[in-house]
Amino acid sequence: MIPPGLDLYVEFKKGLQRELADIEPTDLYLMISRFLKEELRLIQDLQMELEEDKLLVRVNNSIFRSLYMQETIRKSVNSVGCPL
């Protein structure tokens, strides 16, 4: 099964001038935020926190927010995941 966000990752990686592993977390945050907010206009706000070896990402007001409203939630969203 193809992950829902694979195409976004591929597009994001195309614009990078270096390997993803070589980018500092703070720079990565700015790059991802700009990509999703300004280039693709998929979200209004993005928050990221680095916790040891984990990166916690919170997306606010994405264009997909209606998928998660209780009255319209789809089974596929629960089983496959968010398109982002």
What is the 3-state secondary structure of 8-19? Answer: HHHHHHHCCCCC
Total tally of structural domains belonging to the chain: 1
**Mean pLDDT on 6-15:** 86
Mean pLDDT over the full length of the chain = 76
Range of 37's domain? 6-78
The answer to whether residue 1 sits within a structural domain is no
Q: What is the DSSP letter of 2?
A: -
User: How far, in Å, CA of 73 to CA of 26, rounded?
Assistant: 33
User: Is the pLDDT assigned to residue 78 strictly greater than 60?
Assistant: no
The answer to whether residue 84 sits within a structural domain is no
Confidence of residue 48 (pLDDT cuts 50, 70, 90): confident
pLDDT for residue 29: 82
The answer to whether residue 73 sits within a structural domain is yes
The answer to whether residue 83 sits within a structural domain is no
Confidence of residue 26 (pLDDT cuts 50, 70, 90): confident
